[in-house]
Amino acid sequence: MKAKIITERVTWMGAVDWNRRLFDSLIPLPEGTSYNAYLLRGSEKTALIDTVDPEKVDLLLAQLADVEQVDYIVSQHSEQDHAGAIPVIMEKYPQAQVLCSEKGRDMLLYHLEMDPERIRVVADDEVLSLGDRSLRFIYTPWVHWPETMCSFCEEEGILFSCDFFGSHLATSTLYADENPQVIIAAKRYYAEIMMPFRSFIKKHLVKLEPVPFTMIAPSHGPIYNKPEFILDAYKDWVSDHVANKVVIPYISMHGSTEAMVTHLVSSLDARSIEVHPFDLTVTDIGELAMALVDAATIVIGTPTVLFGPHPFVFSATHLANALRPKLRFAAIIGSYGWGTKAAEQLTELIPNLKVEVLGTLMCKGLPREEDIANLDALAQNIYEHHQNLD
């Protein structure tokens, strides 16, 4: 794809990765992604903000073919999908300086083995003059690594935000407008990548409030030409509000846990509680992460394998703990053949979740009448605890 003009001085460059389906060997990308770089031309100096994944560097080089001089390469984030092509761009522009945050320098040296003489650390709130255009660097750590920063061009009213506000969405459309597909992709991105850093993001949103941008240009997905569209979504996602919603990741081996989940779903639904069961043999973990963004309760369902939880459930529970959703309540249900420690082991896996455990219910074999009654009691307990959500 060719470079695209955003304004007379700002050009989108980069690559749309239509076919990538996995990120970090973990995160599903059902709709591909993009690696956005931006060329900002001042009257005296030119800056390239971020680059692309190394696999796509040829596309970026082709877009830069007619650009004679780049004075600065701004590395807002050291992860390879944005910084991995910087060494090649440094070769093309031997006079260019790499600008990054204080922590970014160390990361660029260790991850990409750059020449330290060509890296210059910029301070939080430092302004770089490009002549009649400028860039102000705004430290925003943990979106998504500790070194991340945004860059603001006051004269253009554009905030370059790298991963922050990004979406894994391959599209030829440059602007998000108010396309709901973008918000769904951005929510998935938030859930998978940003959610563990919710408390930092809350502070960043406050820090960005006085910054007069009219456009947000992330390094994944479309540009937000109507910033309130994504800002309002982020304010909701990072708020303390939880919904009257239960998420049930589970596995069933011989039908017992499935029967319990099916009954619990029905019992919760009968109490007007939104419920999302996820059979982990077929679940896209991004969908599970999205459901956890505002759920009040998680119910984990597992059969017993060698006295512990099923390994898929173990993995999903570990992931939920790492993502730190703002859950309030939890419960564990499941089954066993002759003995089990599954519930105890799962409880130990969720220290990051500040939840009240509303109960555990493990059936020997298929659920009996008493178990069904206990599932209804659990549904009622959840219902009562959901009455005072704020």
Measured distance CA(124)–CA(119) in Å, rounded: 16
Task: Quickly list DSSP for 273-332.
Answer: -EEEEEETTT--HHHHHHHHTSEEEEEEEE-EETTEE-HHHHHHHHHHHHH-----EEEE
Per the DSSP assignment, residues forming a β-bridge with 333 are 301, 361
Binding to ligand FEO (CB under 6 A): which residues in 126-155? 144
Least distance from ligand FEO to the Cβ atom of residue 55, Å:
14
Give the 3-state secondary structure of residue 169: coil
Q: Which is nearer to ligand FEO, 143 or 305 (CB)?
A: 143
Measured distance CA(269)–CA(272) in Å, rounded: 5
Q: Which is nearer to ligand FEO, 83 or 264 (CB)?
A: 83
**In the bound complex, which residue of the shown chain has the CB atom lying closest to ligand FEO?**
79
Q: How far is CA 8 from the centre of its chain?
A: 32
Q: Which stretch binds ligand FEO (CB under 6 A): 65-73, 77-85, 91-99, 298-306?
A: 77-85
Mention every residue, 6+ apart, whose C-beta is less than 8 A from residue 61. Answer: 88, 89, 92
Give the 3-state secondary structure of residue 41: strand
Should residue 310 be labelled a site residue for ligand FEO when binding is judged by CB under 6 A?
A: no
Instruction: Write each residue from 192 to 231 as x if it is in contact with ligand FEO (CB under 6 A), else as -, in one continuous string.
Output: ----------------------------x-----------
With contacts defined by CB under 6 A, how many residues of the chain interact with ligand FEO?
A: 7
17, 81, 192, 294: which one binds ligand FEO (CB under 6 A): 81
20, 82, 105, 326: which one binds ligand FEO (CB under 6 A): 82
17, 31, 50, 79: which one binds ligand FEO (CB under 6 A): 79
Q: Which two tokens stand for residue 187?
A: 């929510």
Q: Which is nearer to ligand FEO, 220 or 328 (CB)?
A: 220
Measured distance CA(133)–CA(151) in Å, rounded: 12
Should residue 41 be labelled a site residue for ligand FEO when binding is judged by CB under 6 A?
A: no
Q: What is the contact surface with ligand FEO in residues (CB under 6 A)?
A: 77, 79, 81-82, 144, 163, 220
